[in-house]
Chain A
Amino acid sequence: MSLIESKEKGLYCKQADVYIDPWKPVDKAIITHGHSDHSRKGHKAYACVHSSKAIIRHRLGPINVTSYAYGDSFTVNGVQFSFHPAGHIIGSAQIRVEYKGEVWVITGDYKLDDDGISEAYEQLQCHSFITESTFGLPVYNWPNQNEVYDDINNWWSENAEENKTSLLTAYSLGKAQRILHHLDVDIGPIYCHGAIANMNDALIEAGVKLPYYEKVTPELKPDDFKNALVLAPPAATGSAWMKRFKQVSIGVASGWMALRGARRRRGADRGFILSDHADWKGLNMAIKGTGAENIYPTHGYTSIFSKWLVAEGYNAQPIETAFIGESLEVETETP
């Protein structure tokens, strides 16, 4: 019997009767981070890190949640749980689980690069490592993030010169704040779609610092946006909400933009390769760094990535995520 098992409701620790990021309602849930496919509604009790609490409350309303500092631990029936930075978004954590000297780590989502706004990834050691593998193919190699920020600012300033609005889509939690943090505020005004602005409010309340921006409201006229950069969630681009912009260039910031096909499919004018997940090199480095023998990839190209790890000498086996099987291009509000 493994310390952590993959059950119908999610990853489960039987010894402690605790689930990690369960997708169906349970009694006790430890949450790695605030994205909606990891923190779902309906659990009786939630545990997460302090900075994640505001996010989860913002999403799920008044729930019963206990929060911890990174590094803090608690023990249930002899099993010790602790939270460690995953570098994915603000408040994201890897969950370390120890029982009678055996150590498991569940990464949730993670990236190795320090994005300047999320708590930076901590390399843990363990025996068994449940790792995400969203971008577990050798074609996914991220460019230097500072070059990408430069590209975004250059694109914005070129558009601004032509009095064109720059509309950049990014997930409302994580990516949006990361980009906000690196925008060159001298180029022009910055606006955020309501969904992002609301998330920002929750984060600012929790102590996160963000540059000045305005919320897109119905009173604003097309001219107000002419040299602006507007941040919006991906779903907004196909909606009536877009009609308020006259001359607009659409950019997409996502790891999926690494492939031409994906970018052309979105019909975006510009794709910026910016991801909050580990790339191929990052995944392999993290796995090596744990010293673990047993690796369980989940999310993304799990079967291909597992086969690769086996060839590399690991004990690797994919964990299929419920509902979506092996995940198709993740178009929902996750990475």
Chain B
Amino acid sequence: MKHFTDLFVALDQTTKTTVKVKALVRFFQQASDQDKVWVIALFSHRRPRRTVTTSLLREWAAEKANIPLWLFEETYHVVGDLAETIAKVIPNEDLKVDSNAVDLSGWIAYIMALKDEEEAIKKERILSAWDQLNMEERFLFNKLITGGFRVGVSQKLVTKALAKFTDKEENTIAHRLMGNWDPADISFEELILSESVSDDLSKPYPFYLAYALDGEPEDLGIPNDWVAEWKWDGIRGQLIRRKGEVFLWSRGEELVTDKYPEFDYLSSIDCPDFVIDGEILGYQDDMPLPFQQLQKRIGRKKVSKKTLADIPVVLMAYDLLEYNGEDIRTKSYEERRLLLKGLLPEFIFPDTKVILSQQQDFKSWDELAKLREESRERRTEGFMLKKKNSDYKTGRKRGDWWKWKIDPMTVDAVMIYAMRGHGRRANLYTDFTFAVWKGEELVSFAKAYSGLTDDEFREVSQFVKKNTIDRFGPVRAVKPELVFELAFEGINESSRHKSGIALRFPRIKRWRKDKKAKEADTLVYLQNLLQQ
């Protein structure tokens, strides 16, 4: 476990990407091939299946540390990380065993082998592992069980380090890391090194992601070089047909083919193979459905006939990445669109589920800005601006694609509950519940976590500590005094919340220190937004 522990410590001790890449390269040079594969997997959100529940881990840790469970839980709330809490409450004794005899893949195999064991055996093995590991290693061991290695290492960074280590192109590595591979039964050779691209028919391409436009569209140059498409409010998807087999990937690199049987018919039509980039979108009567409707399908594994009828889904197609088996990402956007346009009519049988995302004509940026005001009634989030001659890039890149979103809606609300944050912000109160006025009463309607600076969070935390009026477990009810402006992307009816409404992407825009609680908005104000 030493190489992995060293890697983790090095990554955790710096915020500089160059240092992180260096540490990763050093790890790839030293570690066994199987450990390499696991590190790639862990840092691209592929973790071993959980074989022990966290509630059992808490119980055993409290017992091992000789403290009552409530004290363990209170401590966990302060620390904000379960793996760390467990690692640190257990007293450090002299280690009897050399923990380096077992490497990372060895410990992962140890954890995976617990899957079908009885609880007593699981307990015995976990406690024995804790005994064999020092504090840092114990923390990593626990993380392997609970998941979520957050050390500021993105898949992009791993890609960069691998490219350096293997002397290959970053794009090649990025593509190889996509899709469905299982770290438990793939070798480093197969995953990264071998020259023949794997015969995995489902393998998607890395998505090209756009940044939000930070200046004015005028800065982009003449309108004639650009194309505008509505920015759809669904989930990004890649629809693949290869050798007659159909696959649908979501942006989170999740294979979601089974959740959207709408596209099954594409396997049996007569047309060239393809890879289409688009938006999975709830769609009915020539209009997108609100995102909230689609959300009902995202979480579900199996879809019923009723759901299929109530929330029909299409792919709003905006780009073509592979045509007839050929990777065409280096062709210009205009050329790719032309091929896409030619392909789509083949899908109309009996009723197409793949719709071309139309480009909006505009002669001036002003004209487009006016059109953008219709975004909300068209149930879109604004525009995507794409350069006509651009190729299809890998990952988030500046320059050729921009998101030009509409301004969010806002509401002034009173903070009434607060909870501690996690990770970097554990110990600070960062999770807030907000309320608006309904007559003389405050009704809660939204939670938000982000949007304040660390200094502001610190100041609010001080307020919370001094103005707690009640406690429910980790949640504190506070004096309704502080007013915040929340920004959000959408508003819907909801039977789950007392207020009867639910916001989409609520976040704190700013602290309205100039406002008193009485001056916050009312529920009627929100209900009016709902009507619009």
Contact = CB atoms under 8 A, between A and B. Distances in A.
B426 interface: yes
Contact of B71 (A138, A261, A267, A326): A138
Interface in B406-439: 422-428
Interface residues of A, number: 26
Contact of B81 (A261, A267, A324): A261
A265 B425 contact: yes
Interface in B61-103: 65, 67-68, 70-72, 74-75, 78-81, 84-85, 88-89, 91-92
B235 to A, nearest CB: 31
A222 to B, nearest CB: 19
Interface string A116-159: 00000000000000000000011111000000000000000000
Contacts of B78: 137, 139, 301
B88 A258 contact: yes
Contact of A329 (B70, B89, B427): B427
A324 B427 CA distance: 15
A223 interface: no
B12 interface: yes
Given A325-B466, A328-B461, A139 B423 contact: no
Interface of B is mostly: helix
Contacts of A304: 71, 74-75
A259 B425 contact: no
B14 interface: yes
Nearest to A140: B88
B423 A324 contact: no
A324 B74 contact: no
Interface in A295-335: 301, 304, 307-308, 311, 324-326, 328-329, 331
A313 to B, nearest CB: 13
A264 interface: yes
Interface string A250-264: 000000001111101
A267 B455 CA distance: 13
B30 interface: no
A293 interface: no
Contacts of A328: 427-428, 458, 461-462, 465
Contacts of B71: 138, 304, 307-308
B424 A265 contact: yes
B423 A264 contact: yes
B13 interface: yes
A58 to B, nearest CB: 29
A270 interface: yes
Contacts of B80: 261
Nearest to A304: B74
B264 interface: no
Interface footprint category on B: 35 or more
A261 B425 contact: yes
Nearest to A327: B465
Nearest to A281: B91
A137 B75 contact: yes
A137 B79 CA distance: 10
Contacts of B422: 261
A123 B15 CA distance: 43
Interface in B37-68: 65, 67-68
Contact of A260 (B12, B14, B67): B12
Nearest to B454: A265
B16 to A, nearest CB: 9
A269 interface: yes
A262 B427 contact: yes
B89 A138 contact: yes
Contacts of A269: 13-15
A139 B426 contact: no
A325 B465 contact: yes
A271 to B, nearest CB: 8
Contact of A311 (B65, B68, B89): B68
Contact of B13 (A265, A270, A311): A270
Given A261-B81, A265-B425, A329-B427, A324 B67 contact: no
Contacts of B74: 137, 301, 304
A261 B12 CA distance: 11
B268 to A, nearest CB: 53
A307 B68 CA distance: 11
Contacts of B14: 269
Contact of A141 (B85, B92, B423, B454): B92
Interface string B341-368: 0000000000000000000000000000
B81 A260 contact: yes
B89 A259 contact: no
Contacts of B424: 261, 264-265
B88 A261 contact: no
B68 A138 contact: no
A264 B426 CA distance: 10
A259 B84 CA distance: 8
A141 B462 contact: no
A138 B92 CA distance: 12
B76 to A, nearest CB: 9
Interface in A10-33: none
Interface string A190-226: 0000000000000000000000000000000000000
B85 A139 contact: yes
A297 B444 CA distance: 36
Nearest to A261: B426
Given A261-B425, A304-B71, A307-B71, 20 more contacts: A138-B67, A138-B89, A139-B79, A139-B88, A259-B79, A260-B81, A260-B84, A261-B79, A261-B81, A261-B424, A267-B15, A269-B13, A301-B74, A304-B75, A308-B67, A308-B68, A324-B462, A328-B465, A329-B428, A331-B458
8 contacts: A137-B74, A138-B89, A139-B75, A140-B88, A141-B88, A304-B71, A324-B466, A326-B465
Interface of A: 137-141, 258-262, 264-265, 267, 269-270, 301, 304, 307-308, 311, 324-326, 328-329, 331
